[in-house]
Structure 1
């Protein structure tokens, strides 16, 4: 039964430690995303190699790569040929209309041929075929210009002159609006030829050589005089207007192709990784948290949630179980006075788990309080608070309570098991492990047989001073003994020992006494007071028994000191061991004066009265709510 209880308690400690000793506690607390711009407290180093994705820098580099792509414009290589085909098609439609008119009006045909004269009826006929001319040309020509060309009979010579002019006009790059190229003037554009011959793709840096449609049409007007010098002025003007109206842009921005090339460039840029090597300092004490730090912090938190974190967590639980089992077994085998009962083992386990939870809660509370006060205090004072609060945590509380309720051997073994776990809980800190060990031993020593509340406060003060010395010693190791943050740490540990530790001990010890049936020296001293109601009633009812108990108390006190037992418990037990005689005091020799009432009783009745004082004493003890340890006497 006891072995099953011990195993269950050991499993409970392991599970609790696995929950509490999370990987995040092996390093200083990792700030959240809201810590941007704040000052970091402590030094954080990488516990392994990390490749941290930097999405912001990656996006910037990909945008930069996309901006390096020149805009793609499609050049219609067949534009000049198409223009000539439309002009030739329009002249062919015009000659067909003239030929049809001549066939219907042979008498007037000679006059049109010789005098280039058109009467109103002829003009109406030719204009009725104008739409076919427009469709072939894919442009609208004024009636006057159309009729001027008709007067020449849409002469092939005029057509050849118009084609020559069109070929010159379509030779260069022409866009719809030149303003579209303004943004690309500094770097240039990429021209891709689609249809027709020529280079499939070329880079154009000189944007000024590209004309818009308006300038190209104006260029047609400027060059027409030289190209159409052999035509009559009216015919030349009409041919110029025809070419000008038929001219179209041959260069157009290809948004889809440009975006495709930008995406290709983006894809060629690899993810930007922040490489953090194991043991490398991520951020130091007092450094400002930047966006780069936040990225590394996110990677650290993500690693803490990975599957490897479960191994670390349960490894902590297994370590706690092995440590407690080893210390307990050592005490059982090698310490003669360490003979714990089942309830003692249960108390030790409960205090172990409770103290671990209390330390973690206190550390988290200290962090939260520091965050609140950081907004209210100047930066240096906020840093001092950050050093003082963890030092004020009552690491020795469990050791003090174990010694208060059990023995010094139990307290020593409990402290030896708790101190390493406390160090892990405080961030893998040897400093706090040593502080928990030394302060726990001192607290257990100073609280031994504390008879008054003032003794508890004295023990707490001594414990706080010793803790301060331990922490100051570690500050010497780090070369910052005379720093203000060390002074804050020392002050925090002294205040924690002098106030927090004794107050919690006095608050919790009565609860533990009631829950587990223990009695402390403080409670025994209350019972040892001769003004206690039971003793006052006893001295009135049975003064001989009262004095008998006092004398026996002095004897057992000395005997208990000799054999290493609890002298106070022995003395109090002696005071109360015969309180049942107060019911029939004259039947007991120490209260008789001459007459012996047993002389008038039978032997059986005398024996019954003598035996009955035990039961009556137990009843009085129950009514007075005496501790079981005292009632057992």
Structure 2
């Protein structure tokens, strides 16, 4: 184990160099690539045109069949008929034209009658002039044509004009009404070019039973035929718009993921061969897209992890430890996932539910950080969806990915406020419940049909996955903690056990020191928690910080109950060296017992380079002395926890030496000790702020007031009687 720890230390030192850190991430990337490439690499099909398929082939992707889509679009466009627009204004135009012709004929008839009246002799009756005086028809026709347009004259036959000028006003009025009504009714309907003649015949039929004379009836018919024209015309723009809308409504023809392209034993026709090629199954051995896609995904995953560690504000040594630990746990989890996926080749369905998805999350949550555990669960889910894709037709098995993701998140969520080793197994049981719920919800969503035995097997796999995650985590934690020298919360709780050999050693060999350590632990824990530092580390560190005093317990005043002080027989210099040695002796003893580095640092640094004032001033009275001989060798406190322990250690010893201290005396003493340490530079190398020091001072005062509160003094006789009664 020592050799392994030494190797890890060497690797950690290399990770402090950017080049080797990138190389480490590249190594993780290689593991990811080798684990997943076989699952995304397309199968090579040996299928040729007009060959018989040796197995059923399904499409691995959803892809649009553009050729079939285009054929479908052409077919739909062929069914689109031309759009014709009804020119409603044509109806009114033709009605107005016919009406104007009749009105002109009536006006000409009125003018002729007026001229006849003027030509008749005065005194004679107003009866019409004899026929001999009637103007010739040709003159009437000429007069009528003078009032009409050349187009009308050219389009209407001569007999129409003759009939119009020959008819009386009553006949003209009747013919006008019949003609206008028929034209208006017929022209209000769409009349395309090929229906014009039919429309003309319809208006012609309506006059067969009219009371008009033969010539007028014939003229009215010709007028109707003349007035009825095409009023519905082809609209190219509207037709094109209709074609466009039809083309947009055509749904693309797709080859769906999982769709059977060719059945086993079926002949590969031209159409099937085209679909195989379209789905990328014929040239898959030359496709670089899956390779590029996988590399891009791995780069994204590693970049997110690298960024997380880059932005994490912790000491470099701790950061490298966490990075190496994460790399080992994550790589082990991916390799375990790949090993489990191999059972899919034997038709072993549901093997993804057996994978201990929560193992990595539990370990990383306890040993590193909760946020990294969340990130690990997400990355595991992504990788799992690819590695366990044998049961699906595509590159991703979303069910497996969701299952693994939920398992990892459930473990981290359960352990959010718990870090004790005893909570790992309950966390595993909780993960089992979550696994069962998730797997059955996914099965029901997919409407998967399984029999009772298959459902039972899936239930067992999901339950075993959670328990196995907890068991593996419990088994790996001691190994990882010992190999990396990690001081986890669980490890701290174990070290705080009074049955620990070193704590027993302090209790039996230096009971006063043990009591002093417990007092300092209470004070330090409260002060650390008040500023957000690690209170548990401070408490456990206090239990061991004076372990070096067990080498010469009687040379320390707290262990000199009813005993002579051996320092009375020693020189100040010799006494100072014995007192100073307890820090280095404690660190050596802790190293011998392979205690965590943080505990060793507390024992070695809690006095920093402070001066042993009592013996220094005593020696100074005897003559000139070197102050450095009466100072601890250090180093000074490097962390908040160590600095607070050093303050609490001095404060507790000083207050304990006072007889019935008052709250004011306690506050004054604590402030004096802290000010002295600040002036002496003992807090210069830790990251305690002045604001935090003020909070620490207040917390220590409140704790000491609770410990050294005033007590009732009993009368002497009453006290003696109580002792006798006891």
TM-score (norm 1): 0.52
Q: CA RMSD in A?
A: 4.2
Change (3 A) 1:491 1:604: same
Aligned to 1:206: none
Shift of 1:356: 1.3
Q: Secondary structure at the match of 1:386?
A: coil
Contact 1:15 1:317 in 2 (8 A): no
Q: 1:98-150: per-residue Cα shift (whole Å, max 9, x none)?
A: xxxxxxxxxxxxxxxxxxxxxxxxxxxxxxxxxxxxxxxxxxxxxxxxxxxxx
Distance 1:483 1:569 in 2: 54
Find 2:518's aligned residue among 550, 553, 559.
Answer: 550
Q: 1:618 to 1:301 in 2, by over 3 A?
A: farther
User: Which residue does 1:405 correspond to in 2?
Assistant: 367
- Structure 1 residue runs of 5 or longer lacking an equivalent are 33-38, 51-276, 375-384
Matches within 5 A, 1:175-190: none
Cα pair 1:17 1:320 within 8 Å, conserved = yes
1:527-542 mapped onto 2 (5 Å cutoff): 527-542=495-510
Q: Point out which structure has higher relative CO (alpha carbons under 8 A, 6+ apart).
A: 1
Query: Structure 2: how far apart are the matches of 1:331 and 1:406?
Result: 11
Label 1:596 to 1:473 Cα distance change in 2 as closer, same or farther (>3 A). same
Asked whether 1:11 is paired with 2:42, we answer: no
| 8 Å contact kept, 1:469–1:490 | no
Note if 1:47 corresponds to 2:9.
Answer: no
Q: Residue by residue, what CA displacement relative to the aligned partner does 1:141-173 show, whole Å, maximum 9, x if unpaired?
A: xxxxxxxxxxxxxxxxxxxxxxxxxxxxxxxxx
Aligned counterpart, 1:312? 290
**Alpha-carbon distance change, 280 to 413 in structure 1, aligned in 2, over 3 angstroms:** closer
User: Corresponding residue for 1:279?
Assistant: 256
Q: CA deviation at 1:411?
A: 1.9
Partner of 1:250: none
Q: Aligned partners of 2:363, 2:483: CA distance in 1, in Å?
A: 14
Instruction: Return the alpha-carbon distance in structure 2 between the equivalents of residues 426 and 367 of structure 1.
Output: 8
Contact 1:24 1:304 in 2 (8 A): no
Corresponding residue to 1:569 among 537, 542, 549: 537
Instruction: Please report how far the alpha carbon of residue 459 of structure 1 lies from its aligned counterpart in structure 2 after TM superposition.
Output: 0.8
* Equivalent residue number for residue 624 of structure 1: 593
Asked if structure 1 preserves the Cα contact closer than 8 Å seen for 2:44 and 2:285, the reply is no
**2: CA distance between counterparts of 1:441 and 1:433?**
12
Partner of 1:468: 436
Q: Which consecutive residues of structure 2, in runs of 5 or more, have no partner in the other structure? A: 1-15, 47-54, 65-253, 390-395, 603-726
User: In the TM superposition, what is the alpha-carbon distance from 1:325 to its structure 2 partner?
Assistant: 1.4
Q: Which residue of 2 aligns with 1:613?
A: 582
Alignment of 1:160-309 (within 5 A): 278-279=255-256, 281=258, 290=264, 306-309=285-288
Matches of residues 364-443 of structure 1 in structure 2 within 5 Å? 364=342, 366-367=343-344, 371=346, 386-387=349-350, 389-427=351-389, 428-443=396-411
Alpha-carbon distance in structure 2 between the residues aligned to 1:301 and 1:572: 63
Count of residue pairs brought into register by the alignment: 380
* Matched-pair contact (CA < 8 Å) for 1:30–1:301: no
Aligned twin of 1:359: 337
Deviation of 1:423 (Å): 2.2
**Counterpart secondary structure, 1:341:** helix
SS at match of 2:349: helix
User: Cα distance 1:45–1:307, how it changes in 2: closer, same or farther (>3 A)?
Assistant: closer
How many Å apart are 1:401 and its aligned residue? 1.1
Report the secondary structure of 1:281's partner residue. Answer: coil
Q: Shift in Å at residue 562 of structure 1?
A: 4.3
Structure 1 residue 332: deviation in Å?
4.7
The answer to whether the Cα contact below 8 Å between 2:403 and 2:435 also exists between their aligned partners in 1 is yes
**Residues 460, 320 of structure 1: CA spacing in aligned structure 2 closer, same or farther, 3 A cutoff?**
same
Question: Which secondary structure does the structure 1 equivalent of 2:508 belong to?
Answer: helix
Output one character per residue of 1:483-535: Cα deviation in whole Å (capped at 9) or x when no partner.
Answer: 7445543432122102x111211222222223322133443333222111111
CA gap 1:523/1:293 in 2 versus in 1, 3 angstroms: farther
Aligned equivalents of 2:58, 2:471: Cα separation in 1: 35
For the structure 1 residues 601 and 25, does the alpha-carbon distance in structure 2 shift closer, same or farther, using more than 3 Å as the test?
same
Give CA deviations for 1:382-436 in whole Å, capped at 9, x if unaligned.
Answer: xxx622x320201121111111211213322333333322322222122232233
Q: Do 1:399 and 1:412's aligned partners in 2 also have CA atoms closer than 8 Å?
A: yes
